[in-house]
Amino acid sequence: MSENHDSLRRPWNGARMSPELEFKIANLPDSPGCYLMKSEGEIIYVGKAVNLKNRVSQYFHYNSQHTPKVRAMVEKIDDFDIMLVDGELEAFALECNLIKLHMPHYNIKLKDDKAYPYIRIDLRETFPRVDLARRQEKDGARYFGPYQGATVVREVLDVVRMVFPIRVCRRTLNPARPLRPCVHHQVGQCPAPCAGLIGEEDYRQTIDHVIDFLNGRYAPVLDALKAKMLEASREMNYERAALYRDRIRAVEAVMQKQKTISTAQADQDIIAMLPHEADAMVQLMFVRSGRMIGSERFTLEGAGDEEPGEVLTQFMLQYYGPENLPPHEILLSATPPEHDVIEQLLTEQHGRRTYILTPRRGEKLKLVRMALKNLRDEAHKLDRKNANSHARTIGALEQLQTILGLPTLPRRIEGYDISNTQGAQSVASEVVMVDGVSANKEYRRYRIKTVEGANDFASMYEVITRRLSHGLDELAERREKGLDPQGGKFSWLPDLILVDGGRGQLAAAREAMLAQGLDIPMVGLAKRIEEIVLPDEEESILLDRHSPALHVLQRVRDESHRFAIIHHRTLRARASISSRLDGIPGVGEKRKKAILKHFKTVEALRAASLEEIEAVPGLPESVAGAVYRFLNEASEETGGEA
C-alpha cells in the first residue's frame, strides 16, 4: 500500500477509519460545496469549500496547525455528507443557512450577552404599529436598536408618537366595519384607520418617515416641523405653533442623547472582535446618518482560538438577515479571508450595495478602536467578576476545608431542614450546592412518615436515614453496572452535610449517618449567633461575618429553610382544598387525587376555567361544574382566596 493511501486509512489521531468513511474520502469530488461532519448521526460541524476533495481530506491528515478544537472534533467524526453547488458564493450562502438550521456543536455560534430592547415595526400589517420588543425575533418584522434599556425605548416611542400620527391600539381592523375613533384620534395622535379616515398609502408614507427617523435621519423631520411652526405663527395660531415647538424640542432631546460621529451623514456598522478565554467577544456599534444610535455585545462560544477574520465572517453571516439589513458600510477590526465573496453575498441577499472595510487610518480607524476599547473594558469587568465568583465559590470551599479540617474539598454540600405546624404536615428539605453553586435539580423533598407530632430530632433522623440508604443502594447498583455515581438521583454522596439547627438536630443526623456505616463530615449552623456546631465538640466555631466560608454555609442553610417552608405551605394548601373538596357531590378520594394531580398546584386549580376543569381525566362534566362553582363561591367568600 502506498504511503499516501495509508495516510487515509490511518488518520493523524491514530484511529482507524471504517471502510465506508475511507471510501467517501477517496471519492470526494473536485467541486465547490458544503460538508456536514457527523458523529453517531448528529451533525457536529458544517463547513464550505471551493474544492471539497482538498478541504475535507485535510481533516484526516496530520497537520501541526490544527487547533485543539479541530483535533477533538475529528476524533468524533464517523461519517459526513456533502452538498454540491455551482460556486463559492453559493457555498457561502448554503453554509450560512445550514449553520442556522442545525446549530452544530463545533461551529462558531452567536450568543447574546444581554437582552437589549428594540423598537419593532411589522410592515406586513396593513396599518403597522410601532412597539417595544424585549428581544429580536426572526419573524419578518423590522427591528431598530438595540437601545440601552426600556426607558430609552419609551422615550423614543413617546417622541415618535408625538411627531407622527400612528395607531397604538391592537384592534382588528376591518374596512367593511369602521369603528368609532378613540381618544388618541381626538388629541391628534392617531389618524384613525379603524374608522376609515386614512388610506393604506397615506399611512404607509407616515411609517416610512418613522423608519427614516429611527434610522437617525432627523433633519427632514426637524425641517418639516419648523416649517409648520412658522406657518402657524404667521397665521397667528399660536397654540398650534407651541405644539410644533414642543415636538421640535422632543426631537432635539433625542438627538442630543446620541453621539455625533461624523459630518458625512454615513450609515455604518462597526464590528470589532476580541478573544476572551475560550470565547470570542464581538462589539457591534450602529451609526446612522453620522450619529451613533446604539451598540450591542455578543459572545461567539468556543471561538477564542479562531482567526479574527474568520470569527467576523461567521458573525456577519449569522447576524445579517431579513430582520437585520446591513448598512452601506461595515467597518471591521480584521480582514475576513473571503472579503469579496462576503461583500457580494450581503449585497445580493439584501438588494443594496454593501462595502466591507478594514480601516488602517483616519476617522474610520478611530471608530474601530472605540469598539475595541469597549471590548477591553468589558473583558476587564468579566475577569473581575470571575475572580469574585471564584472567591465566593471554590475559594470559599477551600477556606471551609481548612477551617473544618476536612480531608477533601467539600464539592458537594447538602443542607437539611424540618418544617411543621404543631406537628402537622411535617416535611423535610434537602438542598444541594456543588462547587459553591446551588444545584436546583438535585433538591429533594421528604414527607415525614414515621414521626408523630413535633419532633425535629426524630424527623431529622428519618430523613438522613432515607437519603443515605437510597444513596448506598443506588451507588451499589451503578457500580455493578459500571456507571458514574454522579449520574444517579441519590448515588452521589455528599462531602459535607449541613443541618439547620443546633446540637440536638446535629446529633440525630449524625446518629442516622453512622447507622448507615458512613462517616461523612457534618456540621450544624445555629441562627442565634451564626455559630458552627461540630459533632462531639462542646465549643463552636465563630467566623467573621464577612468570611466567604461562613457565607457558603449561610446560603445552604437559608436555602434549605426556604425550600422546606415552601413545601410545607404547599401541602397545607393542598390539604385545605382537598378537605373542602370533600363536600362536593360526586368528588370522592379517586377524583380528588385526579384533580390535584392534573393541576399540580393549588394556585393553578383556583385559577382554572370550567373548560380546564372538565379536561381532568375521568371527571364528568356535571362534577366539573360543581367543582368550578365551589371554587368561585369560595373565592368570593374569602376575598379572592379559596
Say what the pLDDT of residue 642 is. 31
Say what the pLDDT of residue 90 is. 77
Q: What fold is seen in the domain 3-107?
A: GIY-YIG endonuclease (3.40.1440)
Share of the chain above pLDDT 70, in %: 85
Peptide bond into 337 cis (omega under 30): no
Lowest mean pLDDT among 72-76, 123-127, 164-168, 251-255: 251-255
- pLDDT grade, residue 14 (50/70/90)? very low
Say what the pLDDT of residue 574 is. 59
**CATH number of the domain located at residue range(s) 268-384 in this protein:** 3.30.420.10
Higher pLDDT, 529 or 549: 549
In angstroms, the CA 302 to CA 553 distance is 34
Closest to 70 measured CA to CA, from 87, 45, 48: 45
Which pLDDT tens digit goes with each residue over 243-261?
A: 778 878 877 776 655 544 4
What does the domain layout of the chain look like in residue ranges?
A: 3-107, 118-260, 268-384, 398-565, 582-637
- pLDDT grade, residue 571 (50/70/90)? low
**CATH number of the domain located at residue range(s) 398-565 in this protein:** 3.30.420.340
Tell me what the mean pLDDT of segment 115-139 comes to: 80
CATH class belonging to 582-637: mainly alpha
Higher pLDDT, 92 or 339: 339
* CB-based contacts of 134, cutoff 8 Å, min separation 6: 115, 117
- pLDDT grade, residue 587 (50/70/90)? confident
Say what the pLDDT of residue 314 is. 87
Which pLDDT tens digit goes with each residue over 257-275?
A: 554 444 456 788 999 999 9
Say what the pLDDT of residue 430 is. 93
Tell me whether residue 631 is exposed, middle or buried, using C-beta atoms within 10 angstroms of its C-beta: 0 to 12, 13 to 18, 19 or more.
buried
Pick from 65-69, 206-210, 247-251 the range whose average pLDDT is largest.
206-210
Which pLDDT tens digit goes with each residue over 416-471?
A: 998 876 556 688 899 999 999 889 889 998 888 888 777 889 999 999 999 999 99
Say what the pLDDT of residue 112 is. 53
* CB-based contacts of 299, cutoff 8 Å, min separation 6: 111, 112, 113, 279, 280, 281, 282
Closest to 522 measured CA to CA, from 394, 391, 416: 416
This model's pTM is above 0.85: no
In angstroms, the CA 544 to CA 127 distance is 64
Question: Is 188 a residue whose pLDDT tops 80?
Answer: no
Q: Do domains 268-384 and 582-637 have the same CATH topology?
A: no
Say what the pLDDT of residue 81 is. 86
User: Of how many residues is the chain composed?
Assistant: 642
Tell me what the mean pLDDT of segment 361-366 comes to: 87
Q: Quick one: cell of 508?
A: 440525630
Say what the pLDDT of residue 640 is. 36
